Amino acid sequence: MNDEIRGVNPFRYMLIKWVYGYSVPLDVVRELSIDTGSRLLHVGPGIGDSPIMIHKRYNCAVDCIEFDRTLVSMGSRRVNEKGYGESVSYHVYEELTYLKPRTYDAALFESSLSVVTNPELVLSTVAGLLSEGALVGVLELTWNSYPSDEKASWLVKALGRDVNLRTRREWEDVFHSSGHRILKSWSEGIGLLKKFWSDFKVAPTGTLWGISKVVYGALSDVKKKDLMFDFLNVLRNYKGDLSVACFVLDRSDKEL
């Protein structure tokens, strides 16, 4: 399965997730009929914030799949340090084929299909792990319309050359060609103030603590400083060009 993974830079990859607030993945999961005792397969959980919040809100088990072993190690450490290791687990992407078929009640792709070469194949593989009638949630940073070459080139530099952002129509084509039907879709805008309030409403203490950590890191580490400025530039300069597209999918026998 390594052929499906692009050359992911884990920290640049995380920029795709940082531009939207905590509430966005929670809003998508709310549409997936998840409740106490459910089991969610979360593809692209980052370093653990989203799966922990999902578990706490819906009291469900979350099995996480990440593409980079560094992120798997960081995520595993975080969920264990916070005491959620029995309910939230991490696996590297190559282990996807070893998971038990028809085990999961829903799946969530969080800014993860943009970093694989064949998203249709990944969607189809995950579909085989879901119980009958299970729903699939997807959220991806998406072009509202294609920008100038200069803007596109800078974003490639900021996010990493192997991140392939698409338009909403292009994502719809991906879902249909993988045998999925779109049940519901909506878009969330991006922006610095929007992200702050989205985060603060869900986790006020964590949001303020996170900001202080980012500022301290930027003052003490040049690479972290560059990453912070790239993050701020995306939110300031691309809020008209980009949005977070959210989808709820199921499998359609007519389209298989």
pLDDT digit string, tens, across residues 5-46: 455 667 677 777 878 888 999 999 999 999 999 999 999 999
**Can you give the pLDDT at residue 90?**
95
92-98 mean pLDDT? 84
Q: Give the separation between CA 63 and CA 59, rounded to whole angstroms.
A: 13
Q: Give the separation between CA 203 and CA 102, rounded to whole angstroms.
A: 33
Q: What is the CATH number of domain 2-251?
A: 3.40.50.150
pLDDT digit string, tens, across residues 147-182: 888 888 888 777 776 678 899 999 999 999 999 999
Burial 176-188 (b: 16+ CB within 10 A, else e): eebbbeeeeeeeb
Q: Do 244 and 188 form a contact (C-beta atoms < 8 A)?
A: yes
Tell me the pLDDT of the chain averaged across its residues: 85
